[in-house]
Amino acid sequence: MWICKECGFANEGRTVCKKCGAPVDKSGAQDNHVPSDTHDSRELTTYEINKELKRLIRHFNPLLPQFKEYNYCNQKLDFLSKKGYVPVAILILGIILSAISIFLIVMTFTVLFRFFNGLLIWWFMFLGLGIYCITVYIHSLLKNRKEIRKYITKEIGIAKQLTKSFDEAETDIIDVMYSDPRILEKIVNIISEGRANTVDKAVDALYVESGKTKEQSRRYLDLVASRQADYGGKDAAVFCSADFFGAYHMKK
């Protein structure tokens, strides 16, 4: 009968603990039990890595809605910063129509065309359309800026909350950017399947599996960090999107 060093369960004739799944050490005394919180300077085993990652998943799982909302804010901000307003072509069209209206009014009051007052109808039409296009563009631009401020403020608030939660987790096994529980679960799966024996290698495998690169991730996270800093979020961390790695859902 061998006692599991991790949970204290008595195992007989097994190489892994029936209760917790830890490897059973049969080299020592049969009744020797070492508390699981006693660690030395050796490298962590894959079991210990997965155990810590699963603890982090349990820690961050209640914050899954915040991670999802954070990702949604990022998506909205990406859209708003690129094409979330009326295209500038509308503004150009408005300027052109306004210029045509000015040309027509000048032509109407020249000696040559002073009897062609019918041009005034066209003048009013082009002027009205021009003013309308310019007004629509300006209104859309102002609304876009307002939406950006709303979502960046929300994003920073969530980022500060998630950063605080990561600090409370008191772990150095994973970088804060990968703390979304859906990403952590992907990393656990990679290690459990034997494709990696360290967190760093599992993260590398995660990038390969998703078809993305660390350079892409770094550029995007730098953009998010810069955006947050511009609006007063310098002390908030940035977080990788689970969608970036194709980790949309948590396993039940």
State the chain's mean pLDDT as an integer. 80
Position 66 scores a pLDDT of 94
Position 211 scores a pLDDT of 85
Position 55 scores a pLDDT of 93
Under DSSP, the state recorded for 226 is H
Q: What is the mean pLDDT of residues 109-115?
A: 58
User: Is residue 9 within 8 Å of residue 20, measured between CB atoms?
Assistant: yes
Query: Does 124 or 49 have the greater pLDDT score?
Result: 49
Position 31 scores a pLDDT of 43
Position 230 scores a pLDDT of 84
Q: Of 175, 209, 169, which is closest to residue 191 (Cα–Cα)?
A: 209
Percent of the chain with pLDDT over 90: 26
pLDDT exceeds 60 at position 1: no
Assessment of whether the complete model's pTM goes beyond 0.75: no
The 3-state DSSP class for residue 90 equals helix
- Exposed e or buried b for every residue in 166-188, given b needs 16+ CB within 10 A? beebeeeebebbbbbbbbbbbbb
Position 83 scores a pLDDT of 72
Q: Give dist(CA 117, CA 209) in Å, integer.
A: 71
Of 7-16, 30-39, 238-247, which has the strongest mean pLDDT? 238-247
pLDDT exceeds 70 at position 178: yes
Q: Give dist(CA 210, CA 248) in Å, integer.
A: 12
pLDDT exceeds 50 at position 239: yes
| Burial label, 36 (beta-carbon count in 10 A; 0-12, 13-18, 19+) | middle
Q: How far is the first Cα of the chain from the last one, in angstroms, to the nearest whole number?
A: 34
Of 5-9, 97-101, 182-186, 220-224, which has the strongest mean pLDDT? 182-186
Q: Give the domain ranges of the chain.
A: 1-36, 45-245
Position 63 scores a pLDDT of 94
User: Is residue 221 within 8 Å of residue 177, measured between CB atoms?
Assistant: yes
Confidence label for 100 from pLDDT (cuts 50, 70 and 90): confident
**pLDDT tens by residue, 131-172:** 888 888 888 888 888 998 999 999 999 999 999 999 999 988
Position 126 scores a pLDDT of 81
pLDDT exceeds 90 at position 180: yes
Q: What is the mean pLDDT of residues 224-250?
A: 81
**pLDDT tens by residue, 17-73:** 655 566 766 555 444 433 333 333 347 788 888 899 999 999 999 999 999 999 999
pLDDT exceeds 90 at position 107: no
